[in-house]
């Protein structure tokens, strides 16, 4: 392309010659332009160009010499021979429109670099070869120069295309010799027929049906019948097997035409092809059968080897079992022991595991193991030796228990030998012992069942507890009298808790009823009631225990506090001690309610009367501190108790401020003020300490920022709900009801008691749900 561009530009520059420019434009062939040489120009004629030799041209078409002139300067004559700086490259385009430089740049040319794919350039300039005649490009053969053949030795693809075109073109020309064209034949090899047979064998079911359809071909001179669509394509296998043309006027009739013979030959060819294909398929079938039978032989050999090994192992297992049966006979000299039998079964399990698992272990154990176990348990007393033979039975559990069933699963005596062993051999001895057992002597029986709990199947143990133990306990509870029996009932009921758990809950109701009957005539001065009831606090549910205390104990304690006489000069503290001794047994709210109702009214009344009679304030201070020290920190931390003691301080402060009684003890006002300040500071320090402990507990539990948003109590839950619904929730300062802090929830006044919200009604406080409270606040 670059050579053609440069040659074109050279032709364009030749127009500057001093010729007649009114004449038609003539092009010259590309040629070498050397210094001092004449230019050769060929004139084109308007006639059609024909490939002629150079010496046949007339004289007027011989290239003439051109004079040097026009735009060419003498300095331009050296552009072929040497290499100039790229600054002068294409400088002659200033006399033109510069199309050459633009075309080079579009094709990727960079000024200052060489041409080519890798910008390698060339050392020698492009050579131009003069065409011989006036024919078109390529009419005289290849126009490649010696330099291009050296640099690009590849064969020109255009030359090959030209040769192929000439070859095909010659086929259309009529043979001048008039000779008869030789017929061409198509041959099929055996491998092609085999491949065709394999393809036909892979046809699907619909294709096979179509391959067997009868087809009548009437496209030729005569009717032909085919028995498959595939045979239609066979008639064109031979290229010259076309229908014969009809005879015209100038056509000659065929000298040799035997359609019957051709038809018979074609039939013989088709039969031969089908026979070859059928033989190939049969051969392939036989080969596949050989491979299949080889695999079957290998598989059967493996099965035979496995069966021989299994027969050998079963023979050894059978010999071992027969030896055990022989030694089980009564008159045998070497009788079989239980330990030795366990070792034999263990050997069978280790060495012949598959055969042992496949065997009927239930029948085998019934015949051999059961008699031996019965002999060992003949003289067994479970209450005296509860761990008797637990080790050997544990070993038999691993030998006889079915792996496909859970060891503590449901009842399955037909498939599990160990379950049957425990049910038929172990359970009868246990049943006999339990029927003779006294429930109040629970220690040996509990130890026995606890030591066997991990060995005995669960359903057998449950059967023993439900059908044997529980009826005995129920009957004994019915006969129990808390007023006459010297043995506490918890001593023979509570040991069964680890084994029986919730089964004992049905016994708790009659026990509480009998205890309630026994407490009807009880007085708090009798401390035995606390000893009897204390073990049941963790056994009864919290609700049932609280109800029992409120019904039977709290009223008695209230009566005891009513009988208490508060006398600062001669105080009897026994009734108060009887009540305080029940702290921990009754709930804190119940104890605080007793003190608020039966103690503090009398105590405050005594304080007021004492202050009105010219008292000794130091004695009053000691009396105040003495009563406060009688209560525990949990009771003192209750808001109601705090309010009562703060009320007493307020009464003392008013007394010393008003000067009641005329005579005022020196320093009394200061002492009372100091006492008040000290007590208030203690309360504040106690509350701060409680908050610190709660914070430490939360930190130890690992409650982070995400968990801190979870409400820790009912109050926090109400506060969270109030924040979600934009409702103001805050305590009412200085306002309480029955010792409970009052809160405002929107415009509603509430208080919280034991996780229940109470809303202030017209006459009383009404409990309500949290959602109803939110609806009322909105």
- Write the pLDDT tens digit of every residue in 63-117: 443 333 333 333 333 334 344 455 566 677 777 777 877 887 778 778 777 777 7
Q: Return the higher-pLDDT residue of 475 and 409.
A: 475
Which helix H or strand E contains 320, and what residues bound it? Answer: helix 259-327
Confidence of residue 18 (pLDDT cuts 50, 70, 90): very low
When mean pLDDT is compared across 55-59, 291-295, 441-445, the lowest value belongs to 55-59
Strand pairing partners for 41?
64
> Do 473 and 496 meet the contact criterion of CB atoms below 8 Å apart?
yes
Task: Say what the pLDDT of residue 55 is.
Answer: 42
What distance in Å separates the CA atoms of residue 371 and residue 351, rounded to the nearest whole number? 25
**Residue 37: C-alpha distances to residues 5, 40, 73, 526 (Å):** 22, 9, 14, 152
Task: Say what the pLDDT of residue 188 is.
Answer: 79
Which residue's entry shows tokens 């017209």?
762
Global pTM value: 0.49
What distance in Å separates the CA atoms of residue 358 and residue 317, rounded to the nearest whole number? 12
Task: Say what the pLDDT of residue 430 is.
Answer: 87
Q: Return the higher-pLDDT residue of 378 and 724.
A: 724
Cα-based angle 604, 611, 625 (whole degrees, multiple of 5)? 60
Q: In the structure encoding, which two tokens stand for residue 491, read together?
A: 């001593």
Cα-based angle 32, 33, 37 (whole degrees, multiple of 5)? 115
pLDDT by residue (tens digit) across 325-377?
Answer: 777 777 777 777 777 777 877 777 777 777 766 666 666 767 777 777 777 77
> Do 107 and 28 meet the contact criterion of CB atoms below 8 Å apart?
no
Q: Return the higher-pLDDT residue of 206 and 322.
A: 322
Q: Where are the alpha helices (H) located in 666-713, listed in sequence order?
A: 668-700, 705-708
> Do 739 and 596 meet the contact criterion of CB atoms below 8 Å apart?
yes
Strand 224-226, strand 765-768: pairing:
unpaired
Neighbours of 42 (CB within 10 A): 19
Task: Say what the pLDDT of residue 157 is.
Answer: 64
By residue count, the chain amounts to 778
Residue 572, pLDDT > 80, answer yes
**Average pLDDT, integer, range 449-457:** 88
pLDDT, the chain, mean: 75
Neighbours of 603 (CB within 10 A): 17
Q: Under DSSP, is residue 516 helix (H, G, I), strand (E, B) or coil?
A: helix
Strand pairing partners for 760?
765
> Do 243 and 220 meet the contact criterion of CB atoms below 8 Å apart?
yes
pLDDT by residue (tens digit) across 216-266?
Answer: 888 878 888 877 766 666 555 444 444 444 444 455 555 567 888 888 998
Task: Say what the pLDDT of residue 243 is.
Answer: 45
Q: In the structure encoding, which two tokens stand for residue 711, read together?
A: 């409400």
Residues 535/540/544/548 CA torsion (nearest 10 deg): -20
Residue 321, pLDDT > 60, answer yes
First to last CA, the chain: 92
Task: Say what the pLDDT of residue 15 is.
Answer: 44
If 0-12 CB within 10 Å is exposed, 13-18 middle and 19+ buried, where does residue 328 land? Answer: middle
What distance in Å separates the CA atoms of residue 35 and residue 82, rounded to the nearest whole number? 11
pLDDT by residue (tens digit) across 694-705?
Answer: 677 666 665 444
Task: Say what the pLDDT of residue 112 is.
Answer: 74
DSSP code, position 49: P
DSSP code, position 80: T
What distance in Å separates the CA atoms of residue 43 and residue 26, rounded to the nearest whole number? 6
Strand 64-66, strand 39-41: pairing:
antiparallel
DSSP code, position 159: H
Cα-based angle 740, 741, 742 (whole degrees, multiple of 5)? 115
**Average pLDDT, integer, range 585-609:** 90
- Tell me the range of 70-84, 205-219, 442-456 where mean pLDDT is highest: 442-456
DSSP code, position 63: P
- Tell me the range of 20-34, 146-160, 509-523 where mean pLDDT is highest: 509-523
Confidence of residue 58 (pLDDT cuts 50, 70, 90): very low
- All residues at 6 or more sequence positions from 193 whose CB lies less than 8 Å from its CB, including other chains: 273, 276, 277, 280
**Average pLDDT, integer, range 442-467:** 89
What distance in Å separates the CA atoms of residue 512 and residue 509, rounded to the nearest whole number? 5
Which helix H or strand E contains 757, and what residues bound it? Answer: strand 756-760
Half-sphere exposure of 124 (CA within 13 A, CB side): 9
Confidence of residue 408 (pLDDT cuts 50, 70, 90): very low
């Amino acid at each position: 392309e670059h050579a053609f561009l440069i040659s074109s530009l050279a032709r364009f520059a030749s127009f500057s010659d001093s010729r007649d420019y009114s004449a038609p434009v003539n092009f010259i062939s590309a040629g070498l332009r050397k210094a001092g040489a004449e230019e050769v120009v060929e004139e084109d004629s308007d006639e059609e160009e024909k490939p002629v030799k150079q010496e046949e041209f007339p004289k007027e078409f011989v290239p003439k010499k051109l004079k040097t002139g026009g735009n060419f300067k003498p300095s331009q004559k050296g552009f072929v021979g040497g290499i100039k700086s790229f600054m002068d490259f294409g400088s002659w385009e200033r006399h033109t429109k510069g199309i050459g430089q633009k075309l080079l740049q579009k094709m990727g040319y960079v000024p200052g670099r060489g041409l080519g794919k890798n910008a390698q350039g060339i050392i020698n300039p492009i050579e131009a070869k003069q065409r011989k005649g006036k024919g078109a490009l390529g009419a005289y053969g290849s126009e490649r120069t010696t330099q291009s053949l050296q640099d690009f030795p590849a064969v020109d693809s255009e030359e090959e295309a030209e040769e192929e075109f000439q070859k095909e073109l010659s086929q259309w020309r009529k043979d001048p010799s008039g000779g008869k064209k030789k017929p061409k034949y198509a041959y099929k090899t055996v491998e092609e027929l085999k491949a065709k047979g394999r393809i036909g064998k892979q046809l699907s079911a619909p294709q096979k049906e179509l391959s067997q359809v009868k087809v009548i071909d009437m496209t030729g001179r005569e009717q032909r019948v085919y028995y498959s669509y595939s045979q239609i394509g066979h008639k064109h296998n031979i290229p010259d097997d076309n229908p014969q043309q009809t005879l015209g006027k100038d056509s000659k009739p065929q000298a040799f035409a035997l359609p019957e013979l051709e038809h018979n030959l074609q039939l013989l060819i088709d039969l031969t092809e089908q026979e070859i294909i059928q033989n190939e398929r049969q051969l392939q079938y036989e080969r596949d059968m050989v491979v299949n039978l080889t695999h079957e032989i290998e598989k059967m050999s493996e099965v035979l080897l496995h069966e021989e090994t299994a027969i050998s192992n079963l023979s050894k297992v059978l010999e071992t079992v027969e030896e055990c049966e022989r030694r089980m006979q009564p008159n045998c000299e070497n009788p079989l022991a239980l330990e030795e039998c366990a070792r034999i079964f263990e050997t069978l399990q280790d060495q012949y595991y598959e055969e042992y698992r496949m065997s009927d272990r239930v029948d085998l154990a019934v015949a051999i193991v059961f008699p031996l176990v019965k002999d060992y348990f003949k003289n067994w007393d479970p209450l005296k030796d509860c761990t008797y033979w637990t080790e050997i039975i544990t070993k038999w559990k691993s030998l006889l228990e079915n792996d496909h069933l859970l060891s503590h699963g449901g009842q399955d005596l037909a498939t599990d030998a160990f379950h049957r062993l425990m049910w038929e051999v172990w359970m009868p001895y246990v049943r006999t012992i339990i029927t003779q057992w006294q429930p109040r002597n629970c220690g040996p029986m509990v130890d026995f069942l606890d030591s066997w709990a991990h060995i005995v199947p669960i359903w057998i143990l449950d059967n023993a507890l439900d059908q044997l133990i529980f009826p005995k306990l129920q009957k004994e509870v019915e006969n129990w009298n808390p007023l006459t029996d010297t043995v506490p009932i918890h001593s023979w009921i509570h040991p069964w808790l680890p084994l029986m758990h919730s089964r004992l809950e049905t016994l708790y109701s009659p026990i509480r009823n009998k205890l309630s009957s026994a407490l009807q005539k009880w007085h708090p001065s009798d401390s035995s009631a606390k000893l009897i009831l204390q073990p049941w606090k963790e056994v009864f549910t919290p609700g049932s225990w609280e109800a029992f205390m409120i019904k039977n104990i709290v009223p008695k304690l209230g009566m005891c506090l009513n009988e208490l006489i508060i006398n600062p000069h001669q105080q009897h503290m026994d009734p108060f001690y009887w009540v305080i001794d029940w702290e921990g047994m009754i709930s804190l709210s119940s104890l605080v309610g007793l003190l608020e109702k039966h103690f503090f009214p009398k105590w405050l009344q005594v304080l007021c009367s004492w202050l009105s009679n010219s008292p000794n304030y130091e004695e009053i201070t000691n009396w105040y501190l003495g009563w406060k020290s009688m209560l525990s920190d949990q009771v003192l931390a209750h808001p109601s108790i705090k309010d009562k003691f703060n009320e007493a301080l307020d009464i003392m402060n008013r007394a010393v401020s008003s000067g009641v009684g005329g005579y005022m003890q020196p320093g009394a006002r200061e002492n009372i003020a100091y006492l008040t300040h000290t007590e208030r500071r203690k309360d504040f320090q106690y509350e701060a300490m409680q908050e610190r402990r709660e914070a430490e507990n939360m930190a130890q539990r690992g409650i982070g920022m995400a968990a801190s948003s979870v409400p820790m109590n009912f109050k926090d839950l109400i506060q969270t709900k109030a924040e979600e619904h934009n409702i103001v929730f805050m305590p009412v300062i200085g306002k309480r009801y029955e010792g409970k802090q009052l809160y405002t929830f929107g415009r509603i006044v509430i208080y919280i008691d034991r996780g229940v919200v109470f809303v202030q009604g017209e006459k009383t406080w009404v409990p309500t749900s949290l959602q109803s409270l939110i609806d009322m606040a909105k």
